Each structure stands twice: as structure tokens, then as C-alpha cells.
Amino acid sequence: MICILLPCRNEAENLPDCLHALEGLAYPTDRIRYLLADDHSSDETGAILANWAAKGTNRQVIPLGRRPAPGENGKALALAEMAAQVRKGEFMLFTDADCRVPPGWAACMAKTYRKEFGLVTGITRISGNSWFARMQALDWWLTLGKVKVVADWGYNLTAMGNNMAMAESAYRKAGGFLPLTGAVTEDLALARAVQGIGYRPIQLVNKAVLVSTLPELGFTNLMKQRKRWMRGAFLLPWYWQLLLGLQVGFYLALMVAMYYVPLQAGIGWCIKILVQSLFIGTFAAKTETKTRFLDLICFEIYNWIVSWSTVLYYFWPGAIQWKNRNYR
């Protein structure tokens, strides 16, 4: 038995495609339940969820008891209330309303799970054909490729809240989402809790679990997303923070080297672009996704700009904004 949890907030525009994809899952209807929650939306999200739930006996909208307090993670609170309705022994899957799951997603995630894993993270790609969307997609391939490498070494850098699964028993042992409502990256906080009680991490990378999500619209929205993610990154041990910071440090070192030894710096930069492009292209190919050569070259400039902008934006005074809520 599997149970899919779908928290939603102001997702009326995205929900129809998301729910249509869930209807297309290749999984026995009598072995699957859907738990849905409207996190106090100001649009038609609640009505859409109610109408969809009324069409099937295995669909349930979970009423949320209270609004999150200032600074409290509303999604984590909604997930905690939804998870309280998960039955003993059920296998839990998580996705978001701006995602499209493939037909084999549920079956492949469930088949992969082992008791020692605790939590299975899938693979997610950014959809869209615009240049900005394609750059975000390459950024995700690079980041998730690093997560995969580290997971294979036995450490979980993060999880993907829009594409992950775990057994009900592991969720309960880890403490669930309720203690994590103070974290703005609840998926990372849960992954750390799961590993903290001895479970082994795993990231599944194949076409069957390749979930599509939407790109951020505009540079400002991208920075808001990255500011939230960077807050989560500071939950990691210092040595992982140091390794993640090397990306930003590389470009600073490159600028200095370009002044003193431009030829050697240029050669080193070209090698870095080549290795990075091969890594992204090879990793994406594991899901039968093709990358464009010119995009891989352009991505280096995009990555430079976004890396430094993220650091500056994070330390710039102001709250973290997410789903029309502010977090300090």
C-alpha cells in the first residue's frame, strides 16, 4: 500500500496538470491513497482539490487545523498533519503541485525501497524551452549530480521534497515533520534526521522516476528560491559548507589568476568547463535526457553570475520569502 502526500498553496494554475499526471500512475488503484492539503490558499486551490477528491474513494482532503505562526514553515506543518493520517505499514511518497510525475514513478520508488535506506530521493528536472529555463535545468543537473555522488559515498546532502519516498515506520522513527516547522527547508531537515538515526541515504536516477517541475520566472524569483536553499545549506556540517563554497571561491580565484597568469588561468578554466559539461551531460543521460552543447558552454557564465548573486542576496538584509510568507 502506498500513500501520496500533496501539499498545496496557491497552486490553482498548476494543479490540473499535476493531478492529471497522478491519475496516470501505473499502480493498482486499490493499493494507492492520495492525501491532499490546501495550505490556506487565497486562490481556487481548495476548490480544485475538493472536486478532484470527490471523484475517487481513495482521495482525501486533509483539513488543516491552524494557520502557521509567523516564521513557521507552513508546508512542514501541512505535511505533518497529512502524515498523521498515514496508516501503519503504508509507503509514503511526496511530490509538489507544480510537478508532473511519470507513470512509473510510484512503482519504481516503491520497488527500490529497502529498510536500510529510510528515505529514497528521486530525480527532478526543470521543464521549459526558454534560455533561462534551460540554464536552471543544467544547474539542477549539476547540483543533483553532486548529491548523487555524495549519496553513493554514504552521506545525504539533501532530499527533494517534490520527489521522495519513505516507509511510514522510518518517518515515525525520525520524528516526522512537526519538529521541523522552524526550518525553511523541511526536506533537508528530514533527510538529516533520517540519517541521524542510522539510515543509509539513496538517490534513484532513472527515467521512470524523472519528475518535471517548473522553472522560476525571472531572476528575482530565482534569488528568493536560492536564499531559502542557502539557509538550508547552513544546516550542513562545516566541511560540506566549505566544499559547497568552493564553487564561489573558484570564480574569485579565477579573477585573480586572470590578472597574474592569464594563459594558465584560461587553460584551467577551459578544463573546468569541459569536465563540468561532461559531468552534466553524462548524468542527465542516465535519465535519457539530452543536453545542448552550446547551453553547456553558456551555463558557465550563468553559473558564475548566479553563484555570486546568491551569496550577495543571502546576506542582503531582508526576510526569506516563500509562498507569500516571510521567514527570518
Q: How confident is the model at residue 240 (pLDDT cuts 50, 70, 90)?
A: low
Q: What percent of the chain has pLDDT over 70?
A: 98
Is the pLDDT at 214 greater than 80? The verdict is yes
Domains along the sequence of the chain with CATH: 2-122+160-215 (3.90.550.10), 221-321 (no CATH)
pLDDT band at 238 (very low <50, low <70, confident <90, very high): low
Beta strands in 77-204 (DSSP E): 91-94, 99-100, 119-121, 123-126, 164-167, 202-203
pTM for this model (two decimals) = 0.90
Q: DSSP assignment of 197-258, as one string?
A: TTPPPEE--SGGGEEEEPPPSSHHHHHHHHHHHHHHHTTS-HHHHHHHHHHHHHHHHHHHHH
Compute the mean pLDDT over every residue in the chain, rounded to the nearest whole number.
90
For residue 224, count other CB atoms closer than 10 A to its CB. Answer: 18
pLDDT at 277 over 80: yes
pLDDT of residue 208: 95
> pLDDT per residue over 44-69, tens digit each?
999 999 999 999 999 999 988 888 88
